[in-house]
Structure 1
Amino acid sequence: MLIDTHIHLDAAEFDADRGQAIDFARASGVAGFVVPAVERANFDAVRGIAAMNADVCFALGIHPMYVMPARMDDIEVLDECLGEGGAVAVGEIGLDHFVPGIDHARQLEFFVAQLELARRHGLPVILHVRRAIDPILKQLRRIGVAGGIAHAFNGSRQQADALIGLGFKLGFGGTMSFSGSTRIRELAATLPLDAIVLETDAPDIPPEWARGQRNEPANLSRYASILAELRRVPVEEIIAATGRNAIEVLRWQPGKAGAQAVGV
């Protein structure tokens, strides 16, 4: 089962043709989509898309790049929304030490608060980990959560092993398509297959063949082929394994509503 574990279907870039983009992805073999929120303002949007599509699930969280305008009572709203059920994870949350001008202390405050919510609600987390894997690992070791997915993983093998040891799967996508991304391609080729999930991050992170264009949900099938080539295994093995990994960590299967719909 081909599952896109990270896609922003609610993004404005899809407003003109959202349904067509989803249908095209389905036609290419994509069987499930995980749509994480990035701020309180789009909680309803991601829930609405999931409500209309049995192959779409949602996560709720406040992205580190959105913490500056956020208020701490947004955490209370998030807690209430998680209590209503349906979310498969808390996300997209984490730390971003790459983008200038974002208060690192404020990012950390929101990240810790959301990890504590994930622990309280028994949910995995979807992590944004740009140039901040070690401080994220520090908090994950301190605040145990039910695993999750490290979205767009771009760290070292040692950091990868640490995340895997904490129950995380690592997300790989369009970056694998660039021949110059040697470290990412090496990790994709050599990490245990049961630790890998696929993602597009559409409309962001377009692949090599679509530089400067909107990333499409349908690209996921080509990412599966790239991963198969890197690992020198049949693409069917990649699809089966990465889909199984996504279902295991999120406890959700396309066509079944809500978190913990599948027993693992």
Structure 2
Amino acid sequence: MLVDSHCHLNFEQLSSQLDDVVRRAELAGVGHMLTIGTKLREFEAVRSIAETYSNIHCSVGIHPHEAEVEGADVTVEKLVSLADHPRVVGIGETGLDYFYEHAPRDVQKRSFRIHIEAARKTGLPLIVHTRNADQDTIDILTEEYKKGPFKGLIHCFSSGWEVAEKSMEIGFSISISGIVTFKAADELRDHVRRIPLDRLLVETDSPYLAPVPNRGKTNEPSFVAHTAARVADLKDVSADEVAEVTTRNFFTLFDKIRRED
């Protein structure tokens, strides 16, 4: 069994054909999916998907792109309250994005720290988005961890090695997306070779970043099998072993989910 540890099933490209998307995932051996919250105003739609399908859970959070628009609404207490639901198993996605900078950096940092405190209070994993913000991401995670432990992962990892190294030092996992199959992703492939298999998860980040051989198509959870196969090749192990270990890693990290779910 494979797990797509990060997808956006409420986005129109997938929600408009959700039954078929879920069916194709199951046929591809994807036994579980985590659909991710990016806006509080859309959280009910995200949670509804997780309530509808037994093999889907969800997270609650505000993407850094939305930090300014939804900044007045995000508090630790609100996140903790929304996370108090059996289908909500993670906090985020949150973090820093200095590539697009749709929100001011100070606003992104404030939101990031609020999500970290919510993860600390709930005990749920923190789902971190970081792009072109390596040092600030490292600094905030390190500073906050000294205040009290929390668990989490770097999603859609494509950063420098230091982000992987420092996040693993505080116990984080690293999630690999279809980027690892892209022609220009040699540096990422080198990093994947170095990351211990017991720290890896796989994801689609669908509907974006469709892996080879589906580049240019709308990404969906069934395509995570291609990412897992590339990881297996890089780690010189079988695809079955990658499926087994990354699935175990997922359920170990997201331990609010009962494996039989």
TM-score, with structure 2 as normaliser: 0.92
1:57-76 equivalence runs, <5 A: 57-75=57-75, 76=77
CA contact (8 A) 1:35 1:59 kept: yes
Distance (whole Å) between structure 1 residues aligned to residue 185 and residue 157 of structure 2: 12
Partner of 2:11: 11
Asked if the contact 1:7/1:200 (under 8 Å) is kept, the reply is: yes
Moved more, 112-121 or 59-68: 112-121
Q: Residue 88 of structure 2 aligns to a residue in which SS?
A: coil
Q: 1:38 to 1:229 in 2, by over 3 A?
A: same
Partner of 2:105: 104
What secondary structure sits across from 1:214 in the alignment? coil
* CA apart distance, 1:208: 3.1
| Candidates 139, 147, 151, aligned match of 2:151 | 147
In structure 2, the CA distance between the partners of 1:189 and 1:20, relative to structure 1 (3 Å rule), is same
Instruction: Please say if residues 6 and 34 of structure 1, whose CA atoms lie closer than 8 Å, have aligned partners that are also in contact.
Output: yes
In the alignment, the residues of structure 2 paired with residue 82 and residue 16 of structure 1 have an alpha-carbon distance, to the nearest angstrom, of: 26
Question: C-alpha displacement at 1:188, in angstroms?
Answer: 1.6
Matched, 1:188 2:189: no
Is 1:245 the counterpart of 2:249? The answer is yes
1:32 aligns with 2:36: no
What's the RMSD between the two structures over aligned residues? 1.6
Which blocks of at least 5 consecutive residues in structure 1 are unaligned? 257-264
**What whole-Å deviation, never above 9, does each CA across 1:156-204 have from its counterpart, x for those lacking one?**
2232111111111111121111232101111122311011100000101
Number of aligned residue pairs:
256
SS at match of 2:213: helix
Deviation, structure 1 residue 254 = 4.9
CA distance in 2, matches of 1:101, 1:66: 7
Alignment correspondent of 1:262: none
Checking the alignment, whether the CA contact within 8 Å between 1:173 and 1:200 is kept in structure 2 is yes
Match of 2:219 in 1: 215
Q: Distance in 2 between matches of 1:180 and 1:73?
A: 39
Q: Distance in 2 between matches of 1:85 and 1:19?
A: 22
Runs of 4+ in 1 over 4 A off after TM superposition: none
CA distance in 2, matches of 1:48, 1:3: 20
Could you tell me how far 1:116 is from its partner in structure 2? 1.1
CA contact (8 A) 1:55 1:254 kept: no
Assess if the C-alpha contact under 8 Å between 1:40 and 1:78 holds in 2: no
In 2: Cα distance, 1:54 partner to 1:177 partner: 30
